[in-house]
Amino acid sequence: MQKTLWRYFALYRSFFSHNLKNEMIYRANFVINIGLDIFFTLVNVIFFAILYGNIETVGGWTFHQTLIIVGSVGIIRELAYLTFRKGFLELGEYVRTGNFDVMLTAPMNTAAHLAFRHVSLTESLGEGLMGLILVGYGFAHLDAATWISIPFYLLMLINSLVMYYGFCLMVSSLVFWLIKSQELNTMIYYFMNTARYPRDIYHGLGKVFFTFLIPSSLIATTPATILTGKVDADLIALSVLVAIGLLTLGLFTWTKSLNHYGSASS
């Protein structure tokens, strides 16, 4: 077990350095990516600044508290690109061209292979850095801020990453049936975009929908509650359970889909 873990850690390092070399070839692309990321994050901040210019709180969240949610989305996105996200974006192309075959013959876990093959530092770096700044800025302006909450915040970020991964696995499994993945990826993108609104704005059926079916109300709000002193044990327990549930479901559908590919591709 430990040996396997070390092997995959070493593999990640190897893939990461290859991807970085690959990204550095396209410098202009790199600069444009970061510029766009910063621009769109600022647009988001301005939107909330205008909103909070007229009202005190949204669902009980103040401006600075909301910045932490928005920032957390950026951090989670960057973490996802650093680990698995881009591989899923490319999956449709792999399946369509049949290059996915190579991943099935290599002596490593296929899901890990797909994820590592496209780990990207720069794809979402601007958003990640802006996220860090926003979280820091919001945190500095909170009265309830305590340093002790930071490690717990990081833990919940990882939990959100697991949730996100499980969701991506589950949705991307459909690629093997649909072959085209553009629409699925757009769907995942919008799912992440709705994560920047506080969970408390949802009620009734909407809340259920954005908790269990698409967990976007948990993904950024739960970590943010910890930094903002809104800690709620029930919410944390719910988030952990949803993360475990989605990961299990995701792995299950993924395995089923690989078997389907094995019997259907030519």
Q: Where do contacts with another protein occur on this chain (CB under 8 A)?
A: 7, 10-11, 14-15, 18, 21-22, 25-26, 97-99, 101-102, 104-108, 259, 262-266
Spatial distance between the Cα atoms of 86 and 176, rounded to a whole number of angstroms: 17
DSSP-derived 3-state class of residue 58: strand
Is the CB of 43 or the CB of 264 nearer to another protein? 264
- Minimum gap (Å) between residue 110 Cβ and another protein: 8
Is the CB of 54 or the CB of 97 nearer to another protein? 97
Give 196's contacts (C-beta < 8 A, 6+ positions apart).
Answer: 44, 69, 70, 73, 220
Bridge partners (DSSP) of residue 58 are: 61
Is the CB of 60 or the CB of 262 nearer to another protein? 262
Contacts for 207-214: CB closer than 8 Å, 24+ residues apart? 211/238, 211/242, 212/242, 214/167
Q: What tokens appear for 159 in the block?
A: 């939990």
The DSSP code sequence of 112-171 is: HHHHHHT--SSTTHHHHHHHHHHHHHHHHT-TT--TTHHHHHHHHHHHHHHHHHHHHHHH
Is the CB of 26 or the CB of 190 nearer to another protein? 26
- Minimum gap (Å) between residue 246 Cβ and another protein: 25
- Minimum gap (Å) between residue 224 Cβ and another protein: 38
- Minimum gap (Å) between residue 47 Cβ and another protein: 37
Is the CB of 22 or the CB of 146 nearer to another protein? 22
Backbone φ and ψ of 197, nearest 5°: -95, 140
Is the CB of 10 or the CB of 213 nearer to another protein? 10
- Minimum gap (Å) between residue 252 Cβ and another protein: 17
- Minimum gap (Å) between residue 107 Cβ and another protein: 4
Give 96's contacts (C-beta < 8 A, 6+ positions apart).
Answer: 179, 180
